[in-house]
Amino acid sequence: MINKVLFCATVDYHFKAFHLPYLKWFKEQGWEVHVAASGTTDLPYVDKKFTIPIRRSPLDLKNVEAYNGLKAIMNENNYKIIHCHTPMGGVITRLAARNARKQGTKMIYTAHGFHFCKGAPLTNWLIYYPIEKILAHNTDCLITINQEDYQLASKRFKARTIELVNGVGVDTDVFKPLSDNRRVAIRKSFGYRPNDFLLFYAAEFNKNKNQQLLLHSLARIRDKVPQARLLLAGEGALLENCRELAVKLGISHMVDFLGFRKDIKELVSISDVAVGSSLREGLPVNVMEAMACGLPVVAIENRGHRELVHNNFNGWIIDKNDIDQFANKIEMLARMVDVKEQLGKNGRRVVLSTYSVNHILARNRQIYQTYMGEGEVKEWAVH
């Protein structure tokens, strides 16, 4: 009988963005690969794709339908491994898999940053912490992506095993520094000049991502660094609010609201500095991609940023209320090109040594092999 693996998440784009190498690898091992999530994204390396109406809100009644759908899929397919991602994807999948685990199915859950953490709202601890603590009993392997979550889970949760994997990996052959000529040419194609000082941030416009801080910081250096341009990629509920704030602060001519983009690689590679304003992060991919491209990082304090950014080495971590300090660091990088370049080189070295896709794939292979049983396991092939 052919072995089957099921990957679950709230939305299917999660797999296209972060997990295609894992789907591909299981296919190379001769396994049948299934995916269950909401959405209509086409995914390669998948034998069966189930559209399941998982919703982000725990109170959405569609999640009951998703639970029943997942339970039926699991009863029908006799999976050897189920790997779930995202908060609600992880909750509903593990609840639905209780009977499957009794039949021998192994449950792996990757926590892409617990909603409860140091500095998180009390409501997050009251709602999400008890859920994760209870569901840990239904988890064979809990994977965390940063040290803070790993330490917390190791002390407080009773999953059979708890592992630390440094994120989803960055393809350092794709995200890499450009030659000067190439950088100028791509900048020109986007309408930017060689001496523009480009600050880049890609994120949904919501309360957590906190783009307002970046706008206030830019306003502080408007006259000192007139060549600065803030590039904000993404959509979301607070987009219009941020547009209005930029006008109010007198910096609308210095801010480009780029919307949803499929050319993030190019936008990052032509920028000078990566900025991060989110209040909560697990291990932010956008920061790792920027580091891989040789950009220094200025970001506010949270566990994911702390893990990646080290003061005076590859950037700075700033207190979330210190707009002046955030602005001062950006101004310093605009004035001191040699410092900017050295911090960027340091950041790329960190990614190459710890966060590259090759490192992460090898680490996940070790975990999967634990639950795959006997037989030949082929090497990862990264293309």
Alpha helices in the chain (DSSP H): 13-18, 20-28, 62-77, 87-96, 98-102, 122-135, 147-156, 180-190, 211-220, 239-248, 264-269, 285-292, 303-308, 323-335, 337-350, 357-372
Residue 49 within a domain: yes
Q: What is the CATH number of the domain that holds 232?
A: 3.40.50.2000
Kindly report, residue by residue over 50-99, the tens digit of the pLDDT.
Answer: 999 998 887 788 999 999 999 999 999 999 999 999 889 999 999 999 99
Residue 301: which of 118, 116, 87, 169 has the closest Cα?
118
Q: Looking at the structure, do residues 158 and 214 belong to the same domain, yes or no?
A: no
DSSP 146: S
Mean pLDDT of the chain: 93
Going through 112-165 in order, the beta strands assigned E by DSSP cover 141-144, 161-164
- The number of domains in the chain is 2
42 plus 164 within the same structural domain: yes
Residues 218 and 308 in one domain: yes
Q: Is 360 part of a structural domain of the chain?
A: yes
**Within a domain: 321:** yes
Residue 376 has pLDDT above 90, yes or no: no
Is position 174 within any domain?
Answer: no
How far apart CA 65 and CA 60 sit, in angstroms, is 10
pLDDT in the model for residue 379: 52
The answer as to whether 383 is a domain residue is no
Domain that residue 284 falls in: 180-355
Q: How confident is the model at residue 126 (pLDDT cuts 50, 70, 90)?
A: confident
Q: Is 236 found in the same domain as 87?
A: no
Query: Higher confidence at residue 346 or residue 365?
Result: 346
Question: What band does 382 get if pLDDT is binned at 50, 70 and 90?
Answer: very low
For residues 306 and 333, state if they share a domain.
yes
Is 195 in the same domain as 131?
no
- Mean pLDDT computed over 353-374: 90
Query: Do 196 and 165 share a structural domain?
Result: no
Do 361 and 268 belong to one domain? no
Do both 148 and 184 map to the same domain? no
Instruction: Tell me the pTM.
Output: 0.87
Same domain for 80 and 162, yes or no, is: yes
Q: Rg (Cα) of the chain, in Å, rounded?
A: 22
Residue 208 inside a domain? The answer is yes
Same domain (yes/no): 270, 304: yes
Structure token pair of residue 143: 């994977």
Residue 348 in domain? yes
118 vs 212, which has greater pLDDT? 212
Q: What is the pLDDT of residues 209-241, one digit of tens each?
A: 999 999 999 999 999 999 999 999 999 999 999
Torsion of CA 58, 60, 63, 65, to 10 degrees: 160
Is pLDDT above 70 for 377? Answer: no
Question: pLDDT tens, 315-352?
Answer: 999 998 899 999 999 999 999 999 999 999 999 999 99
- Are 249 and 234 found together in one domain? yes
In a domain, 378, yes or no: no
For residue 378, what pLDDT is reported?
55
